[in-house]
Amino acid sequence: MEKMKQHSDMVGFVADGQYGSPRRCPCGGSIKHDVSHSPKIKHDFDTQPGSRYFTCTKFKDDRLHFRQPWVFGIEQEIEKLVMKVEEQSKTIEEMRKQIQIQAEEIAKLKT
The fraction of the chain above a pLDDT of 90, given in percent, is 26
C-alpha–C-alpha distance, residues 53 and 41, integer Å: 16
At residue 88's C-alpha, the angle toward residues 84 and 90, to 5°, is 120
Range of the domain at 41: 2-110
pLDDT score of 43 more than 50:
no
Beta carbons of 70 and 52 less than 8 angstroms apart = yes
Mean pLDDT (whole number) for 17-29 = 68
- Residues 40, 9: contact at Cβ < 8 Å? no
Report the number of distinct structural domains present in the chain.
1
Q: Higher pLDDT residue, 108 or 46? A: 108
Determine if the pTM surpasses 0.85: no
Pick from 7-11, 41-45, 50-54, 101-105 the range whose average pLDDT is largest: 101-105
